[in-house]
Amino acid sequence: MKKVSFKWLAPLASIAVLMLMVGWMAGLFTDKITPGTTPILKVDSSQAIAVVKLDQPSFEPAPASIQAKQASVISSRILARVDKVHVRAGEIVKQGQLLIELEQDDLKARVMQAKAQVRSVKARLKEAQQALIRAQELNAKGLLANADLEKLQANYDALAASLSTINQSVLESESALGFAQIRSPMNGIIVDRFAEPGSIAQPGKQLLSLYNPESVRVEANIREKLALSLTLGQKLRVLIPATEQWLDAEIEERVPAGNPGSRSFLIKSRLYQTQGLLPGMYARLMVPSGTESVLLIPEGRVARVGQLDVVWVANHDHIERRFIRAGKKHENGLLEVVSGLKEGDMLLPIPIDN
């Protein structure tokens, strides 16, 4: 009896499953919607408002950053080992507050040595003064030659000059000892700490950095055509995207030399409100650039459908749902329309069953 071969069953079954999947994806097993029209939405047209076009000042947003006007880099004036660091990043400090202490043993020894030399020279100077007085008395009586008197006078003058030099050495050594205590030059906040106890402090080497939080301002590079139209004391608006704050600023400085690469000028503006601002934050400086005509509608009459903006417009005897392209938001609750509407269109409230 001849055996039946099943080697074709597996390919046939795979093809059948594949056809079923294609039919399911094509919608063969779902209900169809009969073509037709949807009823027109009923909205009270008495609540419609007209889209208006207004001429208003235009502003060009310029990328800017928050910077501190009063910032300082703390470094040592002498070569010494760091003994103590009393502050860390983020701490608030007062002017004159002790920040860093350097090793003082060698400096104290120099002060003591200089003072000992002062005492030694003073003793010798006193002895020379007494000898000079006696010599002057003997010379007046004709018992001492003028040459001997001049020699004693020269010795006294040399010791007096030496005493003056050593006194200066004492002042220098005491000043160096004072440099071992590094204090804050202003009220501020510590930005970063670059030294730890045991490290070597060298003259000019950065140890700490701090800034005055009340001196932050906004700085921006403005293209030359706009920059040249700005004046000192002019009021501007600043947007802080991170906190969504609008702040008032006043131009206090315009660098009188432009950047030849970008053809821009650096504008520095004082901020009236500095709370919550940190150096390095991103900002946008709104620079006046003339006037422009814009279409404005209430933001509350725009519905968001996915990533699309939709409005309802009264068009003669029916209501039209229209997609628009929205622009920037204004502070008074109005929304700028880039496309999709024209002046005079009657805008309706958002239907409840939208």
Structure tokens at 93: 């400090």
Helix, strand, coil abundance in the chain, percent, nearest 5? 30, 40, 35
Structure tokens at 235: 């009021």
pLDDT at residue 36 in the model: 44
Q: How many CB atoms lie within 10 A of CB 216?
A: 22
Closest CA to 270 of 212, 211, 219, 221: 219
Cα separation, 192 vs 73, whole angstroms: 10
Closest CA to 311 of 284, 287, 345: 345
Cα separation, 267 vs 277, whole angstroms: 18
Least confident span in 50-64, 94-108, 171-185: 50-64
- Which phi and psi angles does 128 have, rounded to 5°? -65, -35
Cα angle: 128, vertex 131, 132; to 5 degrees? 85
What average pLDDT does this structure show over 309-317? 83
Cα angle: 259, vertex 261, 266; to 5 degrees? 25
What H or E segment, with its residue span, contains residue 14? helix 9-25
Length of the chain (residues): 354
Say if CB 270 and CB 238 are below 8 A apart.
Answer: no
- Is pLDDT at 45 greater than 70 in this prediction? no
User: Could you tell me which residue, 55 or 187, shows the higher pLDDT?
Assistant: 187
- Is pLDDT at 240 greater than 90 in this prediction? yes
Quick one: how many helices (H) and strands (E) in the chain?
A: 4, 20
Question: Of the ranges 25-39, 199-213, 307-321, which is most confident?
Answer: 199-213
Closest CA to 217 of 187, 180, 254, 244: 254
Cα separation, 125 vs 111, whole angstroms: 21
Closest CA to 218 of 258, 257, 248, 256: 248
Cα separation, 313 vs 320, whole angstroms: 5
pLDDT at residue 1 in the model: 44
Cα separation, 152 vs 139, whole angstroms: 12
**pLDDT tens string 254-273:** 999 988 888 999 999 999 88
Say if CB 336 and CB 326 are below 8 A apart.
Answer: yes
Closest CA to 349 of 316, 303, 301, 310: 301
**pLDDT tens string 8-21:** 677 777 888 788 88
Nearest 10 degrees: CA dihedral of 9, 12, 17, 22? 180
Closest CA to 283 of 218, 221, 330: 218
User: Could you tell me which residue, 180 or 22, shows the higher pLDDT?
Assistant: 180
**pLDDT tens string 171-214:** 888 888 888 899 999 999 999 999 899 999 999 899 999 999 98
pLDDT at residue 40 in the model: 47
- Is pLDDT at 33 greater than 60 in this prediction? no
- Is pLDDT at 37 greater than 50 in this prediction? no
Question: Do the strands 52-68 and 282-298 form a parallel or antiparallel pair, or are they unpaired?
Answer: antiparallel
